[in-house]
Amino acid sequence: MKNDNSTHGGSSGTLWKKKDLLLLAAVLIAACLLFFLYRFLSAAPAAYGEVSVNGEVVAELDLNQDTSLTVSGWNGGSNTIVVQNGAISVTEATCPDHVCIHTGEISRTGETIVCLPNRLIITIIQDGG
Ligand SMILES: [Zn+2]
């Protein structure tokens, strides 16, 4: 029974299997390409820090580019923002509480540094994410 069954569908079954294998290989290659493309794209995310003062965006900082800048905050205050190793931090500020400095470094999408006295907000935004 078992033997008869396998020989019966033998020739046509082999033909199907070859087509199946080709199709499977094509799908696997496509999946691999997509996977590596996705890995490549997610390995270097285009994240940037949006700096706003009093609700207005005053600067957009590329996280992949080390830099520093001083922004004039509300009411004559100022904050020194540093971008280093893909993270943003406030290193100097004229505000009395220094909450923004104590927040430390932020590097993940959605993280924020807020300086209430200077009305400064830094938010990390994922480009196209
Ligand atoms: Zn502050």
Q: Where are the domains of the chain?
A: 5-41, 48-125
Query: Is residue 7 predicted with pLDDT exceeding 80?
Result: no
Question: How far, in Å, from the CA of 84 to the mean position of ligand 1?
Answer: 19
Q: What is the pLDDT of residues 70-89, one digit of tens each?
A: 999 888 999 999 999 999 99
Distance 129 CA to ligand 1 centre (A): 29
15-24 pLDDT, tens digit each: 668 889 999 9
Measured from the Cβ of residue 100, the count of other Cβ atoms closer than 10 Å reads: 26
Mean pLDDT of all residues in 63-70: 94
pLDDT of residue 126: 87
Quote the ligand 1 centre to 86 CA distance (angstroms): 21
Residue located via tokens 């008869």: 4
Q: What is the CATH number of domain 48-125?
A: 2.60.320.10
Q: Tell me what the mean pLDDT of segment 31-51 comes to.
A: 81
What number is the average pLDDT over the span 88-117? 96
pLDDT bin (cut points 50, 70, 90) of residue 45 is low
User: Using 50, 70 and 90 to split pLDDT, how confident is the model at 1?
Assistant: low
Residue 80 C-alpha to ligand 1 middle, in angstroms? 10
**What pLDDT is stored for residue 14 in this prediction?**
64
Q: What is the 3-state secondary structure (H, E, C) of the chain?
A: CHHHHHHHCHHHHHHHHHHHHHHHHHHHHHHHHHHHHHHHHHHCCCEEEEEEECCEEEEEEECCCCEEEEEECHHHCEEEEEEECCEEEEEEECCCCCHHHHHCCECCCCCEEEECCCCEEEEEEECCC
Cα(95) to ligand 1 centroid in Å equals: 5
Q: What single-letter amino acid sits at 2?
A: K
Query: Which residues are close to ligand 1, an ion, with C-beta < 5 A?
Result: 93, 95, 100, 115
Q: Which residue, among 114, 107, 115, has the nearest Cα to 48 in the 3D structure?
A: 107
Higher pLDDT, 44 or 61: 61
Is residue 8 pLDDT above 60, yes or no?
Answer: no
Q: Is the pTM of the predicted complex or chain greater than 0.85?
A: no
Residue 95 near residue 77, CB atoms below 8 Å: yes
